[in-house]
Amino acid sequence: MENRHSEIPSSVIGTVPKRSSVLGLGCWAFGGADWGGQNDMESIEAIKAAFETGITHFDTAQSYGRGHSEELVGRALRGVRDKVFIASKTMFTPKERVEKSVLASLKRLGTEYIDLFYIHWPRKDADLEGMMEGLVSAREKGLIKGIGVSNFSVEQMKRVSKAGKIDAHQMCYNLLWRWGEKDLIPYCRENGISVVAYCSLAQGILTGKFSSTLQFVPGDHRKSTVLFDEQVWPHVYDGVEKLKSAALSATRPLNELAIRWILSRPGLSTVLAGARNSLQVHQNVKAMDGEIDPAVFDSFTSISDTIAASIPDTGNIFRWYP
Ligand SMILES: NC(=O)c1ccc[n+]([C@@H]2O[C@H](COP(=O)([O-])OP(=O)(O)OC[C@H]3O[C@@H](n4cnc5c(N)ncnc54)[C@H](OP(=O)(O)O)[C@@H]3O)[C@@H](O)[C@H]2O)c1
């Protein structure tokens, strides 16, 4: 397997030594669960296609199919480990069990170290500082190279920072969901914390493929997210139609502009786009081609200002509060 495309720029994430492509492959759907099923061969082809087209950042988690996504990432990238940046995550884990949890991820990924390991979600009233201490110890042992948090508030970041340096905050950020601009992104910028955007395509919405009437296969978690809520979806749909017209005028597909718009925003270092197959990977990686007129981003921002204001701040799009 060869990485033929060297045109995707790379960035540094926090204090992690290895650079990684600014467009990363989101590997949640490869877990199968939560997305109404997924074919393993298609997942492996998608991961290999991503590497071959120049993506070096792969984002997985223990909870994506209970480790299945980690296993597939490990299998697909065997032989090119030194050329890729692997990020994984774990849910809240007490300090004394953190190392065991990291070792379990290492085993599934078939690697000796993980480049960036996140606390996936904060848990209310849990000892997050203690978990951070466990991660700092794993970093000192070389099991992980960097520490991230995800879905944290500023107050929670301040708390864990007392126990160790946060390298990255992974948060939902896209043309429809911009609540991070309020205080999270400014805090990260002031404190040397890289911002990694997830759901860059708003889980497929920003490809423009959904019709006004929604249909999901059983087991697809998307039907219960706030963006597809029956009160909210009509606003989202109308806004996406406007974005589609703007994309047509700019003669670039909406998915490409949605990804590039994120990278044009202040303080964003990496954007994660998920995919179900190699075709979607190829469509998304094309986002990195060529220059885009800043006026296009301005018109997207102004449409986004209106749509984003019609989406309630539910804390997170999943309305999940562990
Ligand atoms: N830290 C966290 O709590 C958290 C939360 C969410 C995500 N993440 C990470 O961020 C990554 C990205 O988020 P995400 O996967 O939820 O959402 P996303 O990247 O916004 O959308 C991915 C989904 O959109 C559809 N899609 C992608 N490219 C397409 C294309 N070119 N044409 C048509 N459809 C396309 C695919 O689903 P269908 O084909 O089935 O429509 C795909 O699974 C995840 O994979 C995960 O690594 C982290």
Residue 3 inside a domain? The answer is no
Answer positive or negative: Cα dihedral of 76, 206, 179, 267: positive
What letter does residue 271 receive in the DSSP assignment?
Answer: E
Q: Which domain holds residue 114?
A: 17-204+259-291
Q: Is residue 46 part of a domain?
A: yes
Give the count of domains, the chain.
Answer: 1
Q: What is the mean pLDDT of residues 223-250?
A: 97
Look up residue 14 and give its amino acid.
G
Is residue 211 in a domain?
no
Residue 238 in domain: no
- Does 306 map to a domain? no
CATH of the domain at 166: 3.20.20.100
In the set 64, 173, 187, 198, the catalytic residue is 64
Radius of gyration of the CA atoms of the chain, in A? 19
- Considering the domain boundaries, does residue 142 fall inside one? yes
Instruction: Compute the CA torsion angle 70, 228, 169, 129 (nearest 10 deg).
Output: -80
Protein residue closest via CA to atom 29 of ligand 1: 280
Count the neighbouring beta carbons within 10 Å of the beta carbon of residue 119.
28
Residue 316 lies in a domain: no
Q: What is the pLDDT of residue 2?
A: 65
Look at ligand 1, atom 26, and give the residue with the nearest C-alpha.
Answer: 204
Average pLDDT across the chain, whole number: 96
Atom of ligand 1 nearest to the CA of 170: 1
The protein residue with its alpha carbon nearest to ligand 1, atom 35, reads: 204
User: 17 falls in which pLDDT band (50, 70, 90)?
Assistant: very high
Ligand 1 contact via 85 beta carbon (within 6 Å): no
Look at ligand 1, atom 32, and give the residue with the nearest C-alpha.
Answer: 280
Residue 4 confidence (pLDDT) above 70: no
- The response to whether residue 88 sits with its C-beta less than 6 Å from ligand 1 reads no
Instruction: Kindly give the distance from the C-alpha atom of residue 129 to the centroid of ligand 1, in angstroms, as a whole number.
Output: 30
Contact status, residue 319 vs residue 225, Cβ threshold 8 Å: yes
Q: Mind listing the pLDDT tens digit for each residue in 291-310?
A: 999 999 999 999 999 999 99
Give the confidence band of 81 by pLDDT, cuts at 50, 70, 90: very high
Asked whether residue 224 is domain-assigned, the answer is: no
64 flagged as catalytic:
yes
